[in-house]
Structure 1
């Protein structure tokens, strides 16, 4: 698949999960600016539009006015102060969300140079599940995977066995 272009297995597993639940005849609003994964979705035949970089905590207009069938949010919820408000604003009947999981052996990610590249939340799986249920979504499928790194040390070893990413497919109740 894309292993030669994108060495991280995350893109391959995310694409497999997307194809399992969403057909190419459905339209997708991908939260966040156009990125390598939205390009992969388009190259695989999906009809994708992205938000344009607006602060979704402050301006949910793109979400509230979208007429797409599906919303995807790949590794964006941890950057939002209020994912609850985003989930309540979605008009589509289907959503796929992936998040990095909180790791007990690593602190939350915080860029020292880019204020927008900080994690306000690092979820445990049950927290995202609860958030989806509280906002009217029914989880239909979920998956976790690890993110091994080719380094030496205790944390790299733990990353081989500890799930780092969690992806959920849900539908409106």
Structure 2
């Protein structure tokens, strides 16, 4: 089902990580509109509801009104101006989130076609951990993986061994 190519390698890692930490009996609220990964999760037996496409920097009502047991956020937080606000608005006790890591040898992603498709943040792992902890989450497990390309050059060579993606499973800190 998954090849070793983008985005399939990323999807494979994401699904394997999710299966280790979240039961298929738990309801998921996936931040972001329905996408190919949502369909894969449904095929894997998860009940997934996506947010409708509202600007989560401005309107977190879908998150606040959700009764989901788990919130998932796969490559979403880097697109938000204020991921802290979104993280605080989550009512679920469990979070699985992944981000692209900041690479010292590549600029932050910025689409020249879609002005909304830009990375306002590209985190180092410790920065994302700190954001989660400061917004009320305890990291239980995390994992990184690379994203090699079949191109020739220095950056493709560096991508062979430099982690590009970071995923965490976190639980809400009870106060």
TM-score, normalization by structure 1 = 0.97
Aligned twin of 1:162: 162
Give deviations 1:94-133, integer Å, cap 9, x for gaps.
Answer: 0001000000000011111211100000000000000111
Structure 2 counterpart of 1:45: 45
CA-CA distance at 1:6 after TM superposition: 6.8
Using a 3 Å threshold, how does the CA distance of structure 1 residues 49 and 5 change in structure 2: closer, same or farther? Answer: farther
Which residue of the partner structure matches residue 64 of structure 2?
Answer: 64
- Aligned-residue offset at 1:7: 6.1
> In the alignment, which residue of structure 1 is the partner of 2:106?
106
Report the counterpart of residue 33 of structure 1 in structure 2. 33
Aligned twin of 1:119: 119
Residue ranges of structure 1 left out of the alignment (5+ in a row): none
1:16 — aligned with what?
16
Q: What residue is the counterpart of 1:138 in the other structure?
A: 138
Q: Distance in 2 between matches of 1:6 and 1:130?
A: 28
C-alpha RMSD of the superposition: 1.3
For the residues of structure 1 that align with 2:82 and 2:10, how far apart are their CA atoms?
Answer: 25
1:6/1:81 Cα in 2 relative to 1: closer, same or farther (>3 Å)?
closer
Mark the runs of 5 or more structure 2 residues left unpaired by the alignment.
none
Deviations 1:115-153 (A, max 9, x none): 110000000000000011101100000000000000000
**Cα displacement (A) at 1:2:** 2.2
1:96 aligns to 2:77 (yes or no): no
Q: TM-score normalised to the size of structure 2? A: 0.96
Residue 4 of structure 1, CA deviation: 8.0
